[in-house]
């Protein structure tokens, strides 16, 4: 287990399923992502950089792709969700669509790859 797996396992339902679903999709899109932490949050990391973090907060589940540009790129598909410069919030009964999660992860992965060149 690692920081992300341990964190997901520590959550109670329905947060465990909501957080775990996003983490599982991110792992499917970037299978070589590694567990770690960033900015004090459990995070999947790719090529040494934070890829995405998903954490339960008091009012919602927060998704942090560590990139305001990535949030902006998918913002047209985020009506009804809590959106800030660097995060997206959703409730377990109103989850982020799979295609939005996938695009968040792909866009962030591509940013990391571009920075490594």
Q: CATH number for the domain including 42?
A: 3.90.1150.200
Number of folded domains that form the chain: 1
Return d(Cα 82, Cα 116) in angstroms, integer: 31
Angle at which helices 3-10 and 15-29 pack, to 10 degrees?
150
Return d(Cα 32, Cα 86) in angstroms, integer: 24
- Are the CB atoms for 81 and 74 separated by under 8 Å? no
Which tens digits make up the pLDDT trace of 10-30?
999 999 999 999 999 999 999
Give the residues across from 34 on adjacent strands: 45
- Domain limits for position 14: 3-116
Average pLDDT (67-72) is 97
Q: What percent of the chain has pLDDT over 70?
A: 99
Average pLDDT (21-43) is 97
Q: What percent of the chain has pLDDT over 90?
A: 96
């Amino acid at each position: 287990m690692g920081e992300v797996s341990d964190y997901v396992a520590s959550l109670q339902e329905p947060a465990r399923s909501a957080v775990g679903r996003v983490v599982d999709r991110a792992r499917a899109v970037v299978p070589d992502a590694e567990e770690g932490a960033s900015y004090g949050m459990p995070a999947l990391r790719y090529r040494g950089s934070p890829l995405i973090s998903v954490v339960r907060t008091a009012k919602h589940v927060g998704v942090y792709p560590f990139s305001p540009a990535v949030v902006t790129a998918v913002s047209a598909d985020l009506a009804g969700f809590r959106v800030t410069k660097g995060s997206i919030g959703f409730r377990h009964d109103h989850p982020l669509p799979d295609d939005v999660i996938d695009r968040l992860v792909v866009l962030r992965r591509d940013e990391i790859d571009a920075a490594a060149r």
